[in-house]
């Protein structure tokens, strides 16, 4: 996540409603229209089921209280309005309390295709559908509780596990490989690249491997990890993940599959 941002989250009124501008709603509508045909072919069924349950507005940015009603009924989760950037501690605290952080801003037209910060399209379209699913909700809650209690060093390891599951995970399904990672599902380019390109590696997921794998947030991923089935997230949540963090630390990180980030000229 970048250390600074040009964006500022919108504040809701006393009823939890955010009064988005016509332009902001138009950007949502165009993002939705572009992405929906892709995810219907490429997303896992659990995500598509959640999308049906949420009934997201195609033309306007959804209001979080409407999403909360569905999440609370299905898994006991809620969304939480947050600033454009939050620290690891606050992120884990929210997840540990079954609150999914949603930065209440939407990307500008200049960053329509890609932005590093997670905006409301990424959080709501990419992640919220799967929060209706018990396996995904349980894994995310467990992850939050572990992260809240973890040291600063261990949180960096945990972040890799989150990256390669919740953000950029693939899963084996009846129709072949499908996508469940919200970082992919909110990106048209990566939704195609993740399944069709010959460039990235696609390896079976083991938690220790994911904990040891460096990543970069500003490139197409050179590696994706594949769940054997969606409900494997239940098993993953019940593992002694902090013991696996210690194992990953003793083994050391894998060599990065990407070049170092170029430093900007001062």
pLDDT in tens, 221-255: 999 999 999 999 999 999 999 999 999 999 999 99
Q: What CATH number did the domain enclosing 191 receive?
A: 1.10.800.10
Determine whether the annotation assigns residue 141 to a binding site.
no
pLDDT at 265: 57
Number of domains in the chain: 1
Q: Confirm whether 114 is domain-assigned.
A: yes
DSSP-derived pairing of the beta strands 201-204 and 223-227:
parallel
CB within 8 A of 163, min separation 6: which ones? Answer: 183, 210, 215
pLDDT at 114: 85
Q: Confirm whether 139 is domain-assigned.
A: yes
Q: Which domain holds residue 243?
A: 22-251
- Which one of the listed residues 24, 46, 167, 190 is annotated catalytic? 167
Cα–Cα dist 76/143, whole Å: 16
Q: Confirm whether 17 is domain-assigned.
A: no
- State yes or no: is 122 an active-site residue: yes
- State yes or no: is 127 an active-site residue: yes
Q: pLDDT confidence of 26, banded at 50, 70, 90?
A: very high
Cα–Cα dist 225/212, whole Å: 12
| Per-residue pLDDT reduced to its tens digit, 140-176 | 999 999 999 999 999 999 999 999 999 999 999 998 9
Cα–Cα dist 216/229, whole Å: 26
Q: Confirm whether 107 is domain-assigned.
A: yes
Q: Confirm whether 116 is domain-assigned.
A: yes
Determine whether the annotation assigns residue 232 to a binding site.
no
Q: Confirm whether 10 is domain-assigned.
A: no
Cα–Cα dist 215/222, whole Å: 9
Q: Confirm whether 218 is domain-assigned.
A: yes
Place of tokens 């992405």: 35
Determine whether the annotation assigns residue 167 to a binding site.
yes
Q: Is residue 2 scored above 70 in pLDDT?
A: no
């Amino acid at each position: 996540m970048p250390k600074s941002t040009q964006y500022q989250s919108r504040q809701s009124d006393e009823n939890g409603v955010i009064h988005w501008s016509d332009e902001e709603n138009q950007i949502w509508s165009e993002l939705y229209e572009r992405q929906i045909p892709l995810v219907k072919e490429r997303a896992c069924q659990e995500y598509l089921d959640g999308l049906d349950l949420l009934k997201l507005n195609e033309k306007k940015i959804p209001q979080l209280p409407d999403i909360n009603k569905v999440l609370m009924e299905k898994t006991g989760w809620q969304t939480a309005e947050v600033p454009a950037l939050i620290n690891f501690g606050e992120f884990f605290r929210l997840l540990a309390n079954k609150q999914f952080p949603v930065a209440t801003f939407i990307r500008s037209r200049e960053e329509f295709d890609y932005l590093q910060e997670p905006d409301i399209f990424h959080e709501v379209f990419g992640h919220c559908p799967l929060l209706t699913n018990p396996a995904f909700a349980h894994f995310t809650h467990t992850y939050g509780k572990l992260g809240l209690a973890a040291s600063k060093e261990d949180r960096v390891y945990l972040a890799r596990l989150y990256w390669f599951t919740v953000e950029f995970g693939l899963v084996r399904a009846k129709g072949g490989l499908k996508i469940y990672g919200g970082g992919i599902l909110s990106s048209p380019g990566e939704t195609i690249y993740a399944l069709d390109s010959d460039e990235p590696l696609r390896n079976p997921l083991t938690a220790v491997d994911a904990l040891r794998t460096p990543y970069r947030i500003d490139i197409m991923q050179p590696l994706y990890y594949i769940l054997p089935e969606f409900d494997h997230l239940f098993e993953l949540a019940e593992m002694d993940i902090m013991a696996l963090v210690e194992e990953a630390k003793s083994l050391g990180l894998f060599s990065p599959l990407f070049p170092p980030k170029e430093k900007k000229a001062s």
